[in-house]
Amino acid sequence: MPDCNQTEFLICLASKLIEDRTTAFVGTGIPMLAAALAKRLHAPNLVSIFEFGGTGASLEKLPLGVGDSRTFHKAVAASGICDMMETAQRGFIEYGFLGGAQIDSYGNLNTTVIGQYWPPKVRLPGSGGANDVGSHCWKTIIIMRQHDTRRFVPKVDFITTPGYLTGPGAREKAGLPPNTGPYRVVTNLALMDFEPETRRMRLIATHPGVTKEQVIENTGFELPVADEVKTNPTPTDEELKILREKIDPERYYISK
């Protein structure tokens, strides 16, 4: 098995979830590297969308933020944040990457506050463009670097970004586009999807060496388990070589 760290594993796993000839709303960090890796290996026609207006950048050089000039390098368009959000609202963006401090069984995310809203126990950065991404992209891929009961909670303290809210039909009732919502959750332990009937998060694959029991034990709500739980593939030598030598040779992210 190739020797890799947790960040490299998450990047390689997330990249495999992106299909060719699609659009993806890409945020800073793991999503950028996952998109760049996907473009080099299996999704050459992926169109990356960046919050501050870059559309279809080549990703030949890794941007360090969503407003970095590299998000416009060899792009098909250079626009602005309002145009990007409108593009999502019009239904033109298939994938969106998200993260959060808390997540519940329906994929609702909290990046606003821990504890009561005022006075808060911890004040977090807030939404940024996350609410727009989670509300309007067809499929959201949620990356949680740490899988534990502090982050996977029965009920988030604040819904910054809607998942499936309270269950089937709740997104549509709230006025959000039908057939949109959380698609996959990638963590340091496992890969989850959402049951079509209940819209609850479900375990579908564990990382090598991780058991179903470990994932369930580190989840703060009842976690349904698929009939067949697979093992996520380890990064290949080719993936790691491209990631380390071509995408992030300065180790801005993959050393973390």
Average pLDDT of the chain? Answer: 95
- Looking up tokens 């990046």 gives 111
- Catalytic sites, residue numbers: 51
Domain assignment present for residue 241? The answer is yes
Domain assignment present for residue 256? The answer is no
| Among the listed residues 91, 114, 109, the one whose alpha carbon sits nearest the alpha carbon of residue 25 | 91
Q: Left (φ > 0), alpha (ψ -120 to 50) or beta: where does 175 sit?
A: left
pLDDT tens by residue, 109-146: 999 999 999 999 999 999 989 999 999 999 999 999 99
Domain assignment present for residue 109? The answer is yes
**Amino acid 2: pLDDT:** 61
pLDDT tens by residue, 34-77: 999 999 999 999 999 999 999 999 999 999 888 899 999 999 99
The better pLDDT of the pair 128, 198 is held by 198
Span 75-104, mean pLDDT?
A: 94
- Type of residue found at 29: G
Residues in the chain, overall count = 256
Domain that holds residue 83: 6-247
State the angle between helix axes of 30-41 and 6-16 in degrees (0 to 180), rounded to the nearest 10: 50
| Among the listed residues 58, 3, 55, 8, the one whose alpha carbon sits nearest the alpha carbon of residue 34 | 8
Domain assignment present for residue 155? The answer is yes
**What pTM did the predictor assign?**
0.94
Q: Return the CATH number at 239.
A: 3.40.1080.10
Tally of domains in the chain = 1
Residue 12, token pair as written in the block: 């390689």
Domain assignment present for residue 252? The answer is no
Domain assignment present for residue 1? The answer is no
Domain assignment present for residue 253? The answer is no
pLDDT tens by residue, 206-249: 999 999 999 999 999 999 999 999 999 999 999 999 999 999 99
CB 142 within 8 A of CB 100: yes
